[in-house]
Amino acid sequence: MSEETMRLGRERRYLVLLGIICLALIGGALYMQIVLGEAPCPLCILQRYALLLVAVFAFIGAAMSTRRSITILETLVVICALAGVAVAGHHVYTQFYPAVSCGIDVLQPIVDGLPLAKIFPLGFQVDGFCSTPYPPILGLSLAQWALVAFVMIVVLVPVLTVRNRRALR
């Protein structure tokens, strides 16, 4: 087995782990919604979409065999995570300044009109307000935890990729 094959295998394992973590985060959000009764707002749902896209692209990237195809999928992962940073950042801002609307009147029909809201309404339909304060988890709100997760993806995916491939050049 060549050095490059081993290193790309390591990247594929990282991508599988990332996909599993993103799905676990969505599962945690569904638990909080269904069991704890915390209704998702439009920004929550958009963050779920970002996590789902990160997971999908990570799993597809893990199935690829060439460096170029894995790089393309890792780039898509980072782009989706950047979108997640933007949405989660706005959500955190909205929670700090509750007078700022999350745009439920504007965003709700758009988010509820997306395909997954029709296929899996329990997980992808809007049911709450962005400014609703829920109990923090380890001192941070859900929006803050989502922001941390998305920032970590944006930082760690390129860092681990560059670090992993540095010896291949």
Residues in the chain: 169
What's the CATH code of the domain at 66? 1.20.1550.10
pLDDT at position 119 is 83
Which SS3 state, helix, strand or coil, does residue 23 take? helix
In percent, the amount of the chain with pLDDT more than 70 equals: 92
In tens, the pLDDT along 104-137 reads: 566 777 788 888 888 887 788 887 777 777 778 7
Residue 169 in this model has a pLDDT that exceeds 60: no
Note the pTM of the prediction, 2 decimals: 0.87
Question: Torsions phi, psi of 140, nearest 5?
Answer: -120, 150
Tokens of 45: 């749902």
Tokens of 116: 């997954």
Number of domains in the chain: 1
pLDDT at position 166 is 78
Q: How far apart are CA 37 and CA 71, in angstroms?
A: 40
Q: How far apart are CA 48 and CA 163, in angstroms?
A: 29
Domain coverage including residue 138:
3-168
